Structure 1
Amino acid sequence: MNENDSVIFGTSKINYEITYSVRRKNVSISVSPDKKVKVLAPSNLTPEAIREVVKRKADWVLKKLEWFDHIQQFDSSKEYVSGETFLYMGRQYRLKILSENFEVSIRLKGRFFEVTIPKDTPQENRQQLVRGVLWKWYVEHAEKKLREISQTYSRKLHISPPSLKVKSQAKRWGSCSKDNVIRINVQIIMAPMKQIEYVIAHELCHIKYKSHSSDFWKSLRLIMPDYELRKESLRKEGWRYVL
């Protein structure tokens, strides 16, 4: 059963859709890129009780909505042509496409991504080819760098480095599964090092504490005293990390 409701938080109104389930034991709130707020709740929970939960999470919900606003205002489409800029670890690099009698290749040279493609590549295939080369480069470099960071912060937490997978994720920078597999959004490698470290440290703390409990935040603060500054900078700038 679904129903719609809303709460007022400060000067903002949050509209949300509730989906009830007899299998659920707690309330889950999500915000999708189309700025729809969805609440999954146990079937025996009253609308009033759900409103209280949404109010407690209202600050987080509004920040998510603001973040998706940024994305919509920013032209996130890439054409993968010479002159376009791409971020890597907080620095901006310009794309330079070279047509040669060689196989496809890519290298970072100075402030440029140099992508070489065969001279006889049909025009209609160039964009897809360049995009594929860039994605592969980003994934390979993200895997190496993120594993290094994971090892560093795993030592600080006195845990063994977990399994870490790099993938494309539409809604989040990272996640930690029940079996402690950490998945990181490849596009975080476009961010400055402090933001990258925050995402890794955050997910590593979930190995010890699955929820965002007070113990979770204490654990994160212990290994990263300035995590709040890093978290806020990622919230403000994350919309720029588009590949």
Structure 2
Amino acid sequence: MPMITLGQTTIAYTVEIRPRRHYPAIEMDAHKAVTVLVPPDWPPEQIEPLLHRKARWLLHHFETTQPVPVHPPKDFVSGAGFLLRGSSGSKSTHGPRASLVWCWTDDEVVPRFVEFR
């Protein structure tokens, strides 16, 4: 994985060639992974100068991006609240534990609870 040093910060990045792109782009995900997206005819020696031109943007976003918190999977128990499509609800189950599963019918996706005994 190539790396570039911008000021005091060293950033690892990956390069992806995208056939539908006309201009290069830089994207950074929530885990601070930097990807340079380039068209097929973009010369590889122009990638580092591009990153140096965008150094201010990269450093700003690299320092201000907060990692996404990892939440443990939720156990659905009797009376537990949960969010479904932006609204809260609760489900009363008869067993000690239940899990929310998605069931596909012919024309819709429906949430269902499966009890574990």
Task: Give the whole-Å Cα distance in 2 for the aligned partners of 1:10 and 1:38.
Answer: 19
1:28 positional shift: 0.7
* Runs of 4+ more than 6 Å apart: none
Among 29, 32, 36, the residue aligned to 2:29: 32
Q: Whose strand proportion is higher, 1 or 2?
A: 2
Alignment of 1:94-243 (within 5 A): 123-125=79-81, 127-128=82-83, 132=87
Number of paired residues?
81
Equivalent residue of 2:2, what SS? strand
Equivalent residue of 1:26, what SS? coil
Task: Give the whole-Å Cα distance in 2 for the aligned partners of 1:17 and 1:40.
Answer: 9
Task: Give the whole-Å Cα distance in 1 for the aligned partners of 2:70 and 2:14.
Answer: 28
TM-score by length of 1: 0.29
TM-score by length of 2: 0.56
Specify the code of the residue in structure 2 equivalent to 1:72. P
1:6–1:51 CA contact under 8 A, matched in 2: no
Q: Whose helix proportion is higher, 1 or 2?
A: 1
Output the aligned Cα RMSD: 2.7
> Residue 107 of structure 2 corresponds to which residue in structure 1?
none
* Residue ranges of structure 1 left out of the alignment (5+ in a row): 78-121, 134-243
1:103-126 deviations in Å (ceiling 9; x for gaps): xxxxxxxxxxxxxxxxxxx5313x
Equivalent residue of 2:80, what SS? helix
Task: Give the whole-Å Cα distance in 2 for the aligned partners of 1:23 and 1:58.
Answer: 25
The alignment-based identity, stated in percent, is: 26
